[in-house]
Structure 1
């Protein structure tokens, strides 16, 4: 047992990854406070759901719009420095929002530009993360590294919202945002101390648009890449619909809020289970395995359609959480192992953009679709969409052709020793 745990934690023996992981874990603890705190703080300050929507949109839209730009620059510059500057920008914006909420001087016209800056910084940060991981650990440890980073996110996502709620009730939403801002500063300090070999630069004389087009060619030339991104688009669309219609379907039901809370908690548990599983399993065909495991999200939709009892809903939610994190670990690892280092951030930016693109649409149309077609009908169609997109992806030969990186114990041991000593 102790040997298995030690093997799972092997990436943390590498100084560079340990600093990356610490920065990630600290910033995630702060970031999971933010959604609850910001929403409650803006509503308390303005009393307007419309104003809250405007503030949240101001943070989300720039991320989608600027992701491709962020991907190009993350391939041009040292990734840890891009992430460090992004963290400092986020610290500034969250700190400013916190001060306004704590002092009672909150103004939407000031909050929106701050949120735009925050969303833009995230557009540079996100494509850099996976590309940096590929520099901090040897190939044989990438899946474990990705799983550990995801596990930190899952655990923070379980505890952060609760802590944010306690801070809002006992003090002010601003204090939760202030903690978020401080976490970004501490994360930036760890990234500043991170040292890795510089990856080959994307700056080869081609223009910015030329490099952007090169990233697109890397995506479209690989069926397993573009089909995965398309599948993720529909995952986020249907998940957004579920998170609107799921609680809606419980209005007037005795189970009500407690049932929905149990479902969300079950998803968080499943995400952690998926992360732990990713520390140990190494399927020969990672993309095929990812597509199949993603089908475990379907039972949760079906459970709502059938008005299943609470134990069934919770089990389906756990399966749904696993369907999110285990495939992600396999996907990120395969990207890092199969693609050239100098294009990895740009391909990741297309991945992130695809993932985010349809989510706002799902949130926007779910209510009206449920009202016109019926909640159960919409959720049933969403479940069918998940099944069809996964089966369609499995029809592509390139999805089956991708094999996992074959571990070479002696070489990986040498790589680990070299990384650890750096």
Structure 2
């Protein structure tokens, strides 16, 4: 793939504005993630409390994801994203205000996280399924790679900058910046005008549309096999790395060191995105599932040797693997699923992938206290790698090829 072809998607007007919108939003969001983590720890000094705040975001997101998929297939996806960005700006702004004024309490952060999770449930299927409407099919891989470069390039700086803000002026300012960027992101989406695809003339109820999406989901083996695997993988990853990780970091490499670890993962993501910008990815799910198994490495290192250099190297390797899977999964979805079903397919994907995350978030604190903060990450890492290999026993996952056009969605009874 030549350099000109690699940046060709930016010549598409809609994609260029969408690219700018996500650029601004990601800059604030990546700082906010680490800022919220340490804001909760400052207030509570409790891994269990951090798990509660994270779960408060995840649970409503999981419960409302299917509804979000229906909304995103019914209405213009760019409009859904704009409205969601404004709502997210309000909730993040309120959290920032509470933290900055010193009036934040755990129940307040939990309540606002519930609202923010509900908004995320609406926006996620729309963001995941909008890209194929912005570029021609033959530009999907470079378009996905450019989005990854933006996201990953900013996450190299975002966590470190967020950690620096936390240790200098406090977590509230990073959260305030995130709120502002969400408003700017909504404004940048205003010029995006996507022609609406032809819809069925028959009006269907929400239940009928959900049932149609479910029929497609369970009839597509590679789809449900990967989603089932990620139900367990995300539970393990979020609990072992995002709940226990900061707790272990507090006693070993420090808060700034944990920011370096997160930035190293982003560097791995960035480096692999550069590679995938020019190298076509064939058999996307085969290579994707092999690569994502590398995400188990930081968990094992966290339990065995929680030193900065070892964790930074492990996080870089994991980031590269995550990026390969992310590209492979997006291509599999975007090239094999018709547009009128894509948001619902992504919502069922997200529901299955995220449904067990609150279990991991809530359980890792008590598990770490009961069995030790070193033993739990090691066992988690081993289980993570084993599940990745188990998913690859499905031939439909191993052999799924690249396609230039998606297969038509089969008709189902309403």
Using the size of structure 2 for normalisation, the TM-score is: 0.85
Partner of 1:179: 177
Partner of 2:127: 129
For residue 101 of structure 1, report the CA deviation from its aligned partner: 4.0
Count of aligned residue pairs for this structure pair: 403
CA RMSD of aligned residues (A): 3.1
**Cα distance in structure 2, aligned partners of 1:289 and 1:176:** 36
Q: Which moved more, 1:79-88 or 1:319-328?
A: 319-328
For residue 299 of structure 1, report the CA deviation from its aligned partner: 3.7
Secondary structure of 2:280's aligned partner: coil
Partner of 2:153: 155
**Cα distance in structure 1, aligned partners of 2:133 and 2:105:** 42
After superposition, where does 1:156-305 map in structure 2 within 5 Å?
156-171=154-169, 173-201=171-199, 204-243=202-241, 244-246=243-245, 262-304=260-302
Secondary structure of 1:188's aligned partner: helix
Structure 1 residues 257 and 184: CA distance shift in structure 2, 3 A: closer
1:384 aligns with 2:382: yes
**Cα distance in structure 1, aligned partners of 2:90 and 2:373:** 41
Partner of 1:58: 56
2:156·2:264 contact (CA, 8 Å) conserved in 1?
Answer: no
- The correspondence for 2:7, drawn from 1, 6, 9, is 9
Secondary structure of 2:192's aligned partner: coil
Task: Provide, for residues 328-350 of structure 1, a one-character-per-residue CA deviation record: whole Å limited to 9, x for no partner.
Answer: 11101210111010110111112
**Cα distance in structure 2, aligned partners of 1:165 and 1:146:** 28
Structure 1 residues 203 and 60: CA distance shift in structure 2, 3 A: farther
- The correspondence for 2:348, drawn from 350, 355, 371, is 350
After superposition, where does 1:305-344 map in structure 2 within 5 Å?
307=305, 313-344=311-342
Q: Which moved more, 1:134-143 or 1:163-172?
A: 163-172
For residue 351 of structure 1, report the CA deviation from its aligned partner: 1.6
Partner of 2:82: 84
| Unpaired runs of at least 5, structure 1 | 408-422
For residue 303 of structure 1, report the CA deviation from its aligned partner: 4.0
**Cα distance in structure 1, aligned partners of 2:303 and 2:400:** 36
Structure 1 residues 204 and 401: CA distance shift in structure 2, 3 A: farther
Structure 1 residues 341 and 204: CA distance shift in structure 2, 3 A: farther
**Cα distance in structure 2, aligned partners of 1:340 and 1:85:** 25
For residue 264 of structure 1, report the CA deviation from its aligned partner: 3.2
Using the size of structure 1 for normalisation, the TM-score is: 0.84
| Unpaired runs of at least 5, structure 2 | 406-414
For residue 109 of structure 1, report the CA deviation from its aligned partner: 6.0
Q: Which moved more, 1:337-346 or 1:212-221?
A: 212-221
Structure 1 residues 368 and 43: CA distance shift in structure 2, 3 A: closer
Secondary structure of 2:279's aligned partner: coil
Secondary structure of 1:32's aligned partner: helix
- The correspondence for 2:367, drawn from 366, 369, 372, is 369
After superposition, where does 1:10-49 map in structure 2 within 5 Å?
10-41=8-39, 49=46
Q: Which moved more, 1:235-244 or 1:315-324?
A: 235-244
Q: Which moved more, 1:362-371 or 1:128-137?
A: 362-371
For residue 392 of structure 1, report the CA deviation from its aligned partner: 2.5
